[in-house]
Amino acid sequence: MAIDWPGFAYAALLTFGGVLGYTRKGSKISLAAGLTFGSVAGYGAYCVTRDPRNVKISLFSAFLLTIIMGMRFKRSKKLMPAGLVACMR
């Protein structure tokens, strides 16, 4: 059984980004979104680790986050953090 290391790293980066946004800017929304999407991505990586064909949760979380952050990037024209997160996975 192969472990989905890229999926777990992605989940950790999302969580870390949410915590970093909270500590630097005091954004509770960044904290909530980072913890939520990080948890969902982590669960998706766990599901892929258990069954490599079970990618629904990972794809859904990555797709939803790409749409949300892509819209934020389009509105703000700032690469950090929205453009980077939209292009990450």
Is residue 50 exposed (0-12), middle (13-18) or buried (19+ Cβ within 10 Å)? exposed
Over residues 24-69, the pLDDT tens digits come to: 988 899 899 999 999 999 999 999 999 999 999 999 998 998 888 8
CA atoms within 13 A on the CB side of 72: 17
Q: What is the pTM of this model?
A: 0.83
